[in-house]
Amino acid sequence: MALTQLNTEQLIAKCREHNQNAQLEIYNRYYKAMYNTSLRIIKDTGEAEDIMQEAFLTAFTKLSMLEDSSMFGAWLKRIVINASLTASRKKVANREVELEKVEHVLTDTIEISERDITSSKVNTVLSTLTQLKDSYSTALSLHLIEGYDYEEICEIMNISYSNCRTLMSRAKESLRKKLQVV
């Protein structure tokens, strides 16, 4: 049976036996989602890719710690989020500033369909999200995009529940204000 036909639990079992083809199949199934998760927190494509790949290495080397193979995706996402948050904190601590910010403006004279408008709105919200304070952007990404509830966000960001509610309220208000300007 080809590896592409195996379910995740079967592939994890093969990964535990150090089967590199099974590891590659797991990587191919999860890398896009993990990259996007990291990118939303880090906001740097190269660094997000590095974090994503390091997360896979960590996951494969510590696979023996995973008790339930069916939870691999959630476990891997947690590794990516923690690594991204750590990198983000280091960037803030070191006061790193991006050297370039390039914005592309697309103008098109062709009629725009409803699907394009919806896609445009989503892209506007996502790009506006990256302009928020890091804590706002991270909290909103975890809640609105990743689907974490407030309790999980409290645990991930190491903040109290009331602090989380305040942070989310301020983040949503900040996003609303920035979207009104756009």
Kindly give the confidence (pLDDT) of every residue in the chain, 182 residues in length, as a single tens digit, with 9 standing for 90 and above: 577 788 989 999 999 999 999 999 999 999 999 999 999 998 889 999 999 999 999 999 999 999 998 899 999 999 999 999 999 888 766 655 454 443 433 444 434 344 444 667 888 888 888 888 888 998 998 998 888 899 989 988 889 999 999 999 999 999 999 888 86
Degrees to nearest 5, angle at CA 119 with 116 and 124? 120
Instruction: Give, to the nearest 10 degrees, the angle between helix 72-93 and helix 150-157.
Output: 50
Supply 140's token pair: 């909103």
Say how many C-beta atoms besides its own lie within 10 A of residue 39's C-beta: 19
Single pTM value for the model: 0.64
Is residue 72 classed exposed, middle or buried when 0-12, 13-18 and 19+ CB atoms within 10 A define those classes?
Answer: buried
